[in-house]
Amino acid sequence: MTKKFTTKKLKIAQVPGDQIPFSPALFGSPHSITAVSYLLTEELVKKGHKVTAFVPSDSKTSAKIAPNWIPSTDVRFKKYKFGSKERYNLFKNYCQNVINQADNFDIIHIHDLFLGAFKFLKDLKTPALGTFHNPKFYKKDKKYSKVIFVGISKKQIQNNPGFNFVGMVYNGIPLEKYSFNEKPKNYLLWIGRVSPEKGPLEAIKVAKKTKKKLIMLGPLPSHHKSYIKKVLSEVKKNKKNISFLGLVSFKKKINLLKNALVLLSPIKWEEPFGLVMVEAMACGTPVIAFNRGSAPEIIRNNKTGFLVKNVNEMAKAIEKIPMISRKKCREHAEKNFTVQKMAKGYEKVYRKIVKNKKIK
């Protein structure tokens, strides 16, 4: 009986949000939550599960696309601004579409950044699982304490006592798309959205202290205009050694990652999971990060990079980069952070939840 249950193929709904289409183009895009859901979906389909994705109708995926939703090219996505009543109602309709089809699934997996979907989906009768892609729940989120969640790092779970975590699954990447390089160039690399919690100004300080070239990549979020102006001003003042390239193609991102001496990750928040750290190590590039959030779980200190307290320690750690084996960095990513391992972890959690529901 147990064996039959553990080999049964599940009917799974993936709910990543209302507007970003699934496609291979997600690689290298700033839409990391949708990319994680897409990669997980594709791997679950390979494993034989019947997966339905609640994504725009023009998505490219091997899963079934849930009916009754609009393409990402629909004018309403561009016309209605975030925070507007119209956009809220559009998202509400998206969630209602999930509710209408809920009986078709064994389990519904909801990915969320601000718990917006759970306002509408927390009372589903079909077993539902939430992956929260943010460091911390807030006091107002206590109403979701009975929702079933899976953590994306041990630190995220530790930072959120009182919430119903039933497991922990690290995010994974498709290793075959990340080229390994044993002989890097001599530049530093920083990748992230240009906002205070990602530490771009700290990365610039490290570059100035070490007198090394720094290349910076990432989006410019509209809600950090004054901070962005400050960062770009620093880049302009030091344009001989520091360059900001913004968003680049996935191919160019991999080329920059694999040729970098080191990736700098001076995070100033409780990072729930640092995907770019894994991407760097997959290319053989060591990571130096501030010792916060999930960084100690992702980086093996003195083996695949260094965990430091501040800018001065980060600058000094660069001198020790030659002692890090780039091959060991790649092996660490292969062992711990693949799409296959992520899918296997979620599959185990899905079965646990579905089994408990059947027993009840």
Q: Tens digits of per-residue pLDDT, 187-246? A: 999 999 999 999 999 999 999 999 999 999 999 988 889 999 999 999 999 999 999 999
Gap between the Cα atoms of 265 and 21, Å rounded: 29
pLDDT of residue 157: 97
Interval 337-359 mean pLDDT: 91
- Report which DSSP code applies to 301: B
pLDDT of residue 42: 97
If one looks up domain 2-172+338-359 in CATH, what number appears? 3.40.50.2000
Report the chain's mean pLDDT, rounded to a whole number. 93
Gap between the Cα atoms of 225 and 195, Å rounded: 9
pLDDT of residue 1: 44
pLDDT of residue 359: 45
Whether 188 contacts 262, CB under 8 Å: yes
Task: Please say whether the structural domain 175-336 has been given the CATH code 3.40.50.2000.
Answer: yes
Domain boundaries, the chain: 2-172+338-359, 175-336
pLDDT digits (tens, 9 = 90+) for 87-125: 899 999 999 999 999 999 999 999 987 888 999 998 899
pLDDT digits (tens, 9 = 90+) for 43-63: 999 999 999 999 999 999 999
The string of DSSP codes covering 232-251 is HHHHHHTTTTEEEEES--HH
Same topology, domains 2-172+338-359 and 175-336? Answer is: yes
